[in-house]
C-alpha cells in the first residue's frame, strides 16, 4: 500500500515581489479564516495602518478603487438616500444597452410628448411635438442633466416613463444593486425613489466596464442645443466641478434636490489608476466642489494599488504525489493586485499555502493552493493558485515504485 502524503505543508514564498516584504511564515488563524473569494466583496481599509483620519460634510459617501473593489472610505454607504439626478446613470445605462444590443441607434429620432416638454427642473429644452436624435438626448441628459430628455428617452424605449422605471428596477436587480428603487427616469423627488452610495458606486463601475464606447460623453464640458426666445443658441455647461480642475476626472454625474442636498458620483484616472467616488447630502455647490476635490486627492495620496503577479505567472513549484510528472507549477489565474495604505506597503506579507505533495491526477486550471496577502490595515486577501498543466496518475507499477521510494527516501527525494 502506498504511504499517504503528509497532511499539510505550508510552502513559503521566498523571493521578494516588487521590493515588498515577503514572508514564509505559516498564516495565522485570521488569515486561514479569510473569505475564499475576496474580490466578490469590497474590502474596507482600516485606520490602524496609519492613514489620516477623514471627515466629510457629505451625509453619505464611499470611495472605491476601481481595479480591486477595495473600499478606501465609507460613511453611511448603505443608507437609503434620494439620488436626485444621479439616477440618470441608470437611465443612461439602459439607453446604452438598447444601442449596444441593436434595438436603438444614436441617429434614431424620438418624439417629444407634452409631458416631456412640460417637465420642470433642469432641462435641455426639447421642442413640443418635435423629434430629437438619441445622441442629442443623451448629451442633453448627461451634460445638461435634462429631465425632459430623460422622459423622451424613457417613452421612446418603453412606451411610458412608468414602464421604463420598471425596467430600471429589473436592471438594478440584475446588476446586484441591493437597496435601490426607481419610480422615474430623472430622479425627480419621490419617497419611493432611492439608492445607496454603495449601489451608485457599483452602477458607476458597471457603466464604465460595460459601455466604454459611450463613457466619453461624461467628460464633455458643454453642450449646445436649441435656441432661446431671441434666437440665441442655448449652451449649457456640465455641472461636474471636477472636470474643470486638474484632477484626472472624466465623469460622471451630479445631483441636487432639497431633500438630497448636493451630490456627485465621480470617477478619475491618475497614472493609470481609476477611483470611483460617491458623495451626497452636501450643503452647497461650492462645498460639493471643494469636498469632492479634497477627498479625491486624499484617496490618491494615501493609497496605492500594487501588482504582485501577472496572470499565468509562476508563483510556486509544488511536488506531486504519484504523478507522471514530479512537480507542477502553481500559477495565478489572473493578475494579482492589492490596494493598501502606502504606509503599510513595507509591512506587506505574501504567503503561499497548499497541501504537499499534491496528489495526482489533476488537470490544468485545477485550484491547488492559495496566495495569502496580509498587511496592517487591510483585510486578508486570498487568491487561488492553479495548476499550469495536466498531471496524470502513475500506473500501478509506477505507484508501487514511488511508494517504495517514499518509504526509503522520504518526500524530499526528487
Please give the biggest Cα pair distance in the chain: 99
By DSSP bridging, strand 60-65 and strand 71-75 are antiparallel
For residue 174, the surrounding DSSP H or E stretch is: helix 161-175
CB atoms within 10 A of CB 115: 14
CA angle 93, 95, 97 (to 5 degrees): 70
CB distance 347 to 333 below 8 Å: no
For the annotated catalytic residues, the residue numbers are 85, 88, 145
What the block records as the C-alpha cell of 314 is 509562476
Rounded to the nearest angstrom, the gap between the alpha carbon of residue 158 and the centroid of all alpha carbons in its chain is 29
Distance separating the N- and C-terminal Cα atoms of the chain: 20
Half-sphere exposure of 406 (CA within 13 A, CB side): 19
Of 312, 286, 316, 323, the C-alpha closest to 399 is 323
DSSP-assigned letter for residue 116: H
CA dihedral 119, 266, 179, 76 (to 10 degrees): -120
Amino acid at each position: 500500500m502506498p504511504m499517504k502524503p503528509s497532511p499539510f505543508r505550508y510552502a513559503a514564498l521566498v523571493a521578494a515581489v516588487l521590493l515588498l516584504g515577503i514572508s514564509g511564515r505559516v498564516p495565522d488563524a485570521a488569515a486561514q479564516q479569510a473569505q475564499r473569494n475576496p474580490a466578490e466583496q469590497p474590502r474596507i481599509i482600516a485606520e490602524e495602518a496609519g492613514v489620516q483620519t477623514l471627515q466629510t460634510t457629505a451625509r453619505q459617501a464611499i470611495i472605491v478603487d476601481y481595479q480591486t473593489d477595495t473600499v478606501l472610505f465609507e460613511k453611511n454607504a448603505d443608507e437609503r438616500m434620494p439620488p436626485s439626478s444621479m439616477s440618470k446613470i441608470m437611465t443612461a445605462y439602459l439607453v446604452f444597452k438598447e444601442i449596444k444590443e441593436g434595438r436603438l441607434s444614436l441617429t434614431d429620432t424620438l418624439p417629444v410628448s407634452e409631458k416631456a416638454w412640460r417637465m420642470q427642473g433642469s432641462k435641455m429644452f426639447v421642442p413640443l411635438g418635435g423629434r430629437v436624435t438619441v445622441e442629442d438626448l443623451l448629451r442633453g441628459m448627461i451634460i445638461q442633466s435634462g429631465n425632459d430628455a430623460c422622459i423622451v428617452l424613457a417613452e421612446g424605449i418603453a412606451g411610458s416613463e412608468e414602464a421604463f422605471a420598471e425596467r430600471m428596477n429589473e436592471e438594478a436587480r440584475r446588476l446586484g444593486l441591493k437597496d435601490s428603487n426607481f419610480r422615474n427616469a430623472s430622479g425627480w423627488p419621490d419617497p419611493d425613489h432611492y439608492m445607496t452610495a454603495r449601489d451608485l458606486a457599483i452602477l458607476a463601475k458597471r457603466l464604465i466596464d460595460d459601455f466604454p464606447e459611450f463613457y466619453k460623453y461624461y467628460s464633455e464640458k458643454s453642450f449646445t442645443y436649441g435656441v432661446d426666445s431671441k434666437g440665441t443658441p442655448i449652451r449649457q455647461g456640465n455641472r461636474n466641478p471636477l472636470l474643470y480642475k486638474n484632477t484626472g476626472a472624466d465623469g460622471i454625474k451630479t445631483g441636487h434636490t432639497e431633500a438630497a442636498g448636493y451630490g456627485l458620483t465621480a470617477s478619475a484616472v491618475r497614472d493609470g489608476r481609476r477611483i470611483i467616488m460617491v458623495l451626497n447630502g452636501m450643503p452647497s455647490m461650492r462645498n460639493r466642489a471643494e469636498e469632492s476635490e479634497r477627498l479625491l486627492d486624499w484617496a490618491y495620496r494615501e493609497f496605492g494599488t500594487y501588482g504582485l503577479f501577472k496572470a499565468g505567472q509562476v508563483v510556486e513549484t509544488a511536488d506531486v504525489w504519484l504523478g507522471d510528472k514530479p512537480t507542477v507549477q502553481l500559477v495565478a489565474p489572473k493578475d494579482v493586485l492589492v490596494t493598501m495604505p502606502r504606509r503599510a506597503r513595507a509591512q506587506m506579507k505574501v504567503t503561499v499555502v497548499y497541501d504537499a505533495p499534491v496528489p495526482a491526477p489533476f488537470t490544468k486550471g485545477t485550484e491547488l493552493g492559495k496566495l495569502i496577502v496580509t498587511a496592517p490595515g487591510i483585510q486578508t486577501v486570498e487568491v487561488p493558485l492553479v495548476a499550469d498543466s495536466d498531471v496524470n496518475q502513475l500506473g500501478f507499477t509506477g505507484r508501487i515504485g514511488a511508494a517504495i521510494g517514499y518509504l526509503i527516501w522520504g518526500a524530499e527525494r526528487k
